[in-house]
Structure 1
Amino acid sequence: MGDKQIIAAHSRAAVRARYAFIALVALSFLFAQSLYITALADKKKKPNYGHIKLSVKTVDPNGYEVLIDGNGAGRTTVSERLLKLDEGSHKVEIVFPNGERWIREFVVSGGRIYCIGLAYSERAIPIPAALPCPYPVNVSAPATANDGEVITFAADVAYKGQSALNYTWTVSPAGARIISGAGTPTIMVDTTGIGRQAVTAILVVDDGSGERTCRQVAQALTNITVNIPEPPKSRIYDQFEPPAFDDVKARLDNLAIELQNAPATQGHIIVYSGRRSRVGQADRLAARAKEYLTKDRGIDSSRLMVINGGYRESDYFELWLVPQGAEPPQATPTMQPSDAQPGSDNLRPRRSRRR
């Protein structure tokens, strides 16, 4: 019995050992299978980067600078270059010699290749000639002028074209009249009879091309004023102390000439008595002067006015020319009649020198 029990125990142990080996072999197989499957999965997994395949055809053997996201990435080549880029958005720039840039944004996916093929050749870009139109036009004129004066309106035209310009002027109001310069850059306008108005000159300039911008318009304005002439004024022609009547006659001769040259003018003679002159001296001297002018010089008495001016320190003459419409002169005595002191040596009249 004891031996049978021992044999049975050994048999059970052997069976357990065989099952353990089988389990170990199975686990090893499963691990190996797992590694194989993982390796296959790794082979099939998509990479996390892509490529840009770049080539630029050009006559420059040195190629052109390439920038990826603003960073230098070498230069272009005629043959294809393969640039590796991480997944995501990238900006590709190619800098050409004239400052131009070729710029594109790419969203790179893993495992994809983006091809760029460019052909570049330098070319001259023609610059069109500057057009002469529009061009500035300015018209100048005086700010004010008097009625009857001639106004000059002058145009300053900065035209750089080759065509001859046409100048067309119009002036207003209707009374204004162009007297010279029509069809030229400068005109002269007569303002006679305009009165208190403004004269406006409008200039149209065109080069005959028919282009709207080659037709320019400018204008200037001058205000017209009416000068009211000052009324005529009396003016003193001569003044003196009479030493003798012969000297007075010489001065009266000059007054007669002025009156003959101005038929509408009157002569006023103001005579003053001196402090110690005889009573009535001014009246006598004035009457004698008028008599000389009318009888000896032929002046109409209606054109002569004699005035007793009162008293001054000595006998005194004022000869005045009074235009038509002028205020007559006023006497300007320097003392009151009560201050006069007729002297005994002046009681006898003076004898005039014989002519």
Structure 2
Amino acid sequence: MSGTPLALDRLQRQVLAPWRRLPLLDRWLLGELFGPLVYGVAAFTAVSLSVGAVFELVRRVAESGLPLDVALQVLLLELPSFLVLSFPMATLMATLLTFSKLSGNSELTALRSVGVPTWRMVMAAVALSLVMTLLTFGFNEAVVPRTLSQAEATLSRAIGRAVAGEQKDNVLYSRYGRVEQPDGSTRRGLTHIFYAQRFNQGVMEDVTLVDMSRSAHRVMLTAKRARWSDTEAQWEFLDGRVFGIGGADSDAITSARFDRYLYPLGNQPMRVAKLPTDANEMTIGQARTAERLLRESGDEQAARKLRVRIEEKFAFPAVCLVFGLIGSSLGARPHSRRSRSQGFGLSVLLIFGYYLVAFSFSSLGVKGTLEPLFSAWLPVVIGLVTGFVLLRQASR
């Protein structure tokens, strides 16, 4: 029994050793930043959750008879996505409030009087911002896609709607490959077009398939239903008709009805039909797979939009670093003092301005005016440059 307190004391020293190795200045500043950071996360999460989820769930409870326990479950599942949104905003408010308070109390002035430069003071804020950047990326990649998908599935089942990925209208898939020419040679081109008016729980309805892999002879299938057969590794078309169409120099058309027709196309149309419509519900790996499928299907606009969203998955966490640098630089200016309400208001204005710029660049990326990489990262670069300019001004 006497060894237990000693073991606990040794474990405590090992846990606290990295913290104690930090310079006293950084430990003091990080301690000052922690409280406002927690307050900012709680405040921004409560506001965004109320506006983005609570009101809609209350409406469904009142109008659609959604059970209250299901509504609470959906709310908890959606909470991580709103936490991720609050991390950059809370970083901005925490750094702005903390350094404004320290500047207003002349504590930063005292540090300057003993030769501590402003850039050294904000290093603790930058380090905290880097931690929040990594935390945001981890949440966005490992937690948010899974919980959002579960929330959507839970809500859909509760209100009697098909789960996302089980129903979709107008499924279109285009395949490119080698097209056989009349002289026996081949060239790359469009080989197949697959279209279904509706995808419903694993079954394609009102399906049309055009095979253009041979320019001298084309095949078209129409069927009421089609489904992918794992055992056959082929598409199974049901209750339809197959047409054989001659080349440009032939008017020959043959047709035959069928009850069941197997066709080796591959399961890409099924994978396209099951793609989530919201990039937030996909990890980076899933989004890259979805982008490849969309490019294979010929939907370049949707693929470009998804590429922008993939780049934004990397760029968005870096907003914590941008806001941390801007907030600490603004707060570290001499005689800068703001109340918590003033800091909250200024944070909202800065956040609104940054995201307005980010959304503008994102739209340019989706339209193709800018490359996806530039559309996602230019706002971050502009924000960092602004932060360094403000830091330089605060150092004078």
Q: Which has the higher contact order (CA 8 A, sep 6+)?
A: 2
User: Whose strand proportion is higher, 1 or 2?
Assistant: 1
Fold match by TM threshold 0.5: no
Q: Which has the higher helix share?
A: 2
Q: State the TM-score, normalized to the length of structure 2.
A: 0.18
Query: Greater Rg, structure 1 or structure 2?
Result: 1
For normalisation by structure 1, the TM-score amounts to 0.20
